[in-house]
């Protein structure tokens, strides 16, 4: 004997001895009224063949109960019937047939000789885009409408709809197996499978129930029937729809978008599938003689004599983005930050196609000016009056270039200037000499000069400019000013008087012997090249007191000429670039300067170049601060494309520069000969 509680559930099992006692007494009552709980007792019936069906009198007679052998004991299970809510084609004769059935069924569909139960969905074997659904004896046939929430969907062999190569939609990422509707169309379902998204428009089945019981649940795509109805299957292959009987082969239209045909007791209805809606349902309209609701036509936009479609986007300029919104033009202007700051070693740069400038790594610039003063690639300024040849800058890795300078004493043994610059590019030697004379491999050349696109040397205003294919640029004013510019890719690959270019100015006085020096004189001497025979003064010459200390007129002249650095033309630059070091260098140069020479020009020019490199716009006039002595008869112009043609170059074009620049030029068709502008007929006869 044992005691147990019986729970009538589809998954519950009951020991046969208990079931016998329970059903033997209350079998008829339970078939009509479910029993929630009952305390019963009895014995367990044994069995031998595992899994074998067991017939139990008065129990197995009920078609809803199946008994079988499990673990040596008889267990019985009650079948659970599906809900038939909404079915108006429940078949009476299904239960009254020769074989007793447990559950009532909603009428299914027979299509092409194959039976499908109600609520079945299947795809045509020959066409993956043709789908069927069976609902209460009506088979609805539709053509799938695909929707791709991406620009370039990928077709899949054997599938109707293409897929997008990610599970992202409307800014959200979905997980594998997720199914979600479009935000504007509940009937378009998308699914994430194998990392891709595919979307299909759901077509609602044709409902076989009276119109007064059809309703649409909230948040649902399709309408459904409410309630139930039981009928007998009609003989002769006839079909029953709502309240009317149709013969096999007879057609009718239950709506504008649907056409039905009765085929041997099953209605096969073709229903047009509407495309996905890109707008909310409440904003759609129904066109006359149209099956599908559509979004209303959007208005176009007129902007500066051009017409744009709804949702079309365009950019009038790099800072403005516009779009058309149903006849209204909406433009957004990008605002750059009022104060854009870049860290040291970076510069603001405008990039094509972008509105606001960005901070980009600046090129390295080293400057030599005056008596001589050096500003390294990393921005350190120091003085070095060495009178010999020195290594100014050199690529230590690829050895792609090397630059040397030669200093010379002009008025005193301790007052030196840069006399010439030599640039080595592989096997090519470019010499930049006084008065802007240029030699290539020891032979004097005329400007402009080009060497197989590897480098070019041009006259640019009051300077000579060397430009190379590797990005190296050297400016020489023909007197003592030198500016070397290199791309940022040479960072941490340089050595020489211009420093190591590593972004740190405090270690720029690292000598050739890897010793850190405290002053420019000892540091500079480590970079001397060549023999001492190249030096212009002897060592250990006693230095005298600067003339400015004892000569008040020189002192006044120095302050007057150097005051150009404090002029209004540099007011914007002084907020960004400290002028004090340049002013002190200018005073020192002027104190040693001969009365017939303008020595302040070098410091002013160096400061102006520094301002331009820092992105400060200047109304800079070299001729105002550093007047150029033009040949006799020549005219200085702030902007000219003319070149100083000589008698030997009389057949060349006068306009030889693509962009204008400051410089001297002979007026009219006059030519330069012996540093004087003369008429062509005065030129010596050609040999």
Residues 370 and 413 in one domain: yes
Q: Of the ranges 27-36, 497-506, 607-616, which one carries the lowest mean pLDDT score?
A: 27-36
Q: What is the mean pLDDT of residues 219-244?
A: 87
> What is the CB-side half-sphere exposure of residue 474 using CA atoms within 13 A?
31
Rounded Cα distance, 401 and 467, in Å: 12
Same domain for 312 and 417, yes or no, is no
119, 248 in Cβ contact below 8 A? no
The answer to whether residue 59 is domain-embedded is: yes
Q: Which of 610, 626, 642 is the last residue of a domain?
A: 626
Which of 100-109, 241-250, 481-490 is predicted with the least confidence, judged by mean pLDDT? 100-109
Q: Are residues 369 and 482 in the same domain?
A: yes
Residue of 612, 645, 648 lying closest to 631 (CA atoms): 645
* Confidence band, pLDDT 50/70/90 cuts, at residue 24: very low
Asked which of 503, 532, 561 is the last residue of a domain, the reply is 532
* Residue 321 pLDDT: 93
Are residues 622 and 634 located together in one domain of the fold?
A: no
- Residue 1: what pLDDT? 27
Distance CA 49, CA 74 (A): 10
The CATH number for 310's domain is: 2.10.70
Domain count within the chain: 5
Is 506 contained in some domain?
yes
Find the mean pLDDT for residues 388-400: 92
State residue 262 phi and psi, 5-degree precision.
-85, 120
Tell me the per-residue pLDDT of 555-597, one tens digit each, with 9 for 90 and over. Answer: 888 888 888 888 888 888 888 888 888 888 888 888 877 766 7
- DSSP string computed for 68-110: EEETTEEEEEEPPPPP-TT-S-EEHHHHSSSS--SS--B--EE
Residues 448, 481 within the same domain: yes
* Residues 383 and 509 placed together within one structural domain of the fold: yes
In a domain, 671, yes or no: yes
Report if residue 622 sits inside a domain.
yes
Residue 375 lies in a domain: yes
Of 200-214, 366-380, 539-553, give the lowest mean pLDDT range.
Answer: 539-553
Q: Is the pLDDT of residue 541 over 80?
A: no
Q: Same domain for 489 and 454? A: yes
601 and 644 fall within a common domain: no
Using only the alpha carbons of the chain, give its radius of gyration. 49
> Following CA atoms 52, 53, 57, 58 in sequence, which dihedral angle do they give, to the nearest 10 degrees?
150
- Residue 638: which CATH number? 2.10.25.10
> 682 and 597 in one domain?
no
Do residue 438 and residue 573 come from a single domain? no
Rounded Cα distance between 411 and 554, Å, is 15
Say whether pLDDT at 466 is over 90: yes
Q: Using the 3D structure, point to which of 582, 600, 626 is the last residue of a domain.
A: 626
Domain that holds residue 485: 359-532
The answer to the question of residue 521 being in a domain is yes
Task: Please check whether residue 277 lies inside any domain of the structure.
Answer: no
Q: What is the DSSP letter of 619?
A: -
- Are residues 466 and 388 part of one domain? yes
Q: What is the mean pLDDT of residues 242-252?
A: 90
Instruction: Indicate the pTM of the whole model.
Output: 0.48
Q: What is the pLDDT of residues 435-459, one digit of tens each?
A: 889 999 999 988 888 887 789 998 8
**Stronger pLDDT, 334 or 640, i.e. the higher one:** 334
- Predicted pLDDT of residue 474: 94
Quick check: is 616 in a domain?
Answer: yes
Least confident range of 370-374, 431-435, 621-625, 672-676: 621-625
472/581 same-domain check:
no
């Amino acid at each position: 004997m044992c005691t147990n509680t019986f729970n009538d559930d589809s998954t519950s099992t009951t020991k046969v001895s208990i079931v016998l006692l329970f059903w033997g007494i209350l079998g008829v009552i339970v078939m009509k009224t479910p029993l929630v709980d009952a305390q019963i007792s009895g014995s367990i019936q044994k069995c031998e063949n595992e899994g074998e069906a067991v017939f139990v009198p008065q129990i197995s007679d009920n078609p809803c109960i199946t008994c079988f052998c499990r673990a040596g004991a008889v267990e019985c299970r009650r079948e659970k019937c599906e809900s038939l809510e909404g079915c108006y084609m429940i078949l009476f004769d299904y239960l009254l047939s020769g074989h007793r059935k447990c559950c009532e069924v909603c009428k299914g569909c027979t299509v092409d000789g194959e039976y499908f139960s109600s609520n079945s969905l299947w795809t045509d074997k020959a066409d993956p885009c043709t789908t069927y659904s069976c609902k209460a004896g009506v088979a609805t046939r539709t053509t799938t409408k695909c929707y791709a929430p991406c620009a370039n969907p990928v077709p899949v062999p054997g599938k109707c709809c293409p897929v997008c190569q990610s599970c992202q939609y409307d800014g959200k990422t979905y997980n594998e197996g997720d199914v979600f509707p479009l935000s504007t169309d509940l009937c378009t379902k998308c699914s994430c499978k194998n990392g891709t998204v595919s979307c299909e428009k759901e077509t609602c089945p044709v409902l076989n129930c009276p119109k007064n019981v059809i309703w649409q649940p909230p948040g649902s795509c399709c309408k459904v029937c409410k309630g139930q109805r039981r009928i007998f299957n009609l003989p002769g292959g006839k079909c029953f729809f709502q309240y009317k009987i149709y013969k096999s082969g007879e057609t009718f239209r239950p709506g504008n978008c649907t056409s039905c045909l009765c085929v041997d007791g099953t209605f096969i209805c073709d229903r047009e599938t509407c495309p996905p809606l890109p707008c909310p349902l409440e904003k759609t309209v129904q066109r006359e003689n149209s099956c599908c609701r559509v979004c209303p036509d959007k208005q176009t936009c007129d902007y500066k004599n051009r017409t744009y479609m709804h949702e079309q986007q365009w950019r009038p300029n790099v800072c403005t983005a516009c779009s058309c919104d149903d006849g209204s033009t909406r433009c957004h202007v990008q605002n750059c930050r009022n104060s854009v700051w870049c860290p040291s070693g970076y510069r603001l740069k405008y990039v094509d196609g972008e509105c606001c400038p960005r901070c980009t790594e600046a090129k390295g610039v080293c400057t030599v000016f005056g008596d001589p003063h050096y500003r390294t690639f990393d921005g350190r300024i120091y003085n070095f009056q060495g009178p010999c040849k020195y290594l100014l800058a050199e690529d230590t890795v690829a050895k792609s270039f090397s630059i040397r300078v030669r200093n010379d004493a002009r008025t005193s043994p301790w007052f030196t200037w840069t006399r010439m610059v030599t640039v080595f590019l592989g096997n090519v030697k470019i010499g930049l000499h006084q008065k802007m004379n240029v030699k290539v491999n020891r032979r004097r050349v005329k400007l402009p000069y080009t060497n197989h696109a590897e480098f070019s040397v041009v006259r640019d205003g009051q300077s000579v400019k060397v430009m190379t294919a590797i990005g190296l640029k050297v400016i020489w004013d023909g007197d003592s000013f030198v500016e070397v510019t290199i791309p940022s890719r040479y960072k941490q690959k340089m050595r020489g008087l211009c420093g190591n270019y590593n972004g740190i100015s405090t270690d720029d006085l690292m000598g050739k012997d890897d010793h850190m020096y405290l002053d420019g004189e000892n540091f500079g001497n480590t970079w001397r090249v060549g023999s001492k025979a190249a030096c212009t003064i002897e060592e250990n010459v006693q230095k005298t007191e600067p003339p400015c200390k004892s000569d008040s007129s020189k002192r006044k002249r120095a302050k007057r000429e150097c005051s150009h650095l404090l002029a209004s033309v540099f007011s914007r630059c002084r907020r960004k670039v400290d002028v004090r070091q340049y002013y002190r260098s200018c005073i020192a140069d002027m104190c040693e300067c001969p009365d017939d020479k303008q020595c302040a020009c070098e410091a002013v020019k160096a400061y102006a170049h520094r301002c331009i490199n820092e992105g400060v716009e200047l109304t800079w006039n070299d001729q105002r601060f550093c007047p150029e002595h033009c040949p006799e008869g020549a005219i200085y112009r702030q902007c000219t494309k003319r070149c100083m043609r000589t008698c030997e170059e009389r057949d060349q074009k006068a306009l030889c520069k693509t962009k204008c620049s400051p410089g001297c030029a002979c007026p009219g068709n006059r030519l330069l000969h012996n540093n004087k502008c003369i008429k062509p007929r005065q030129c010596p006869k050609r040999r």
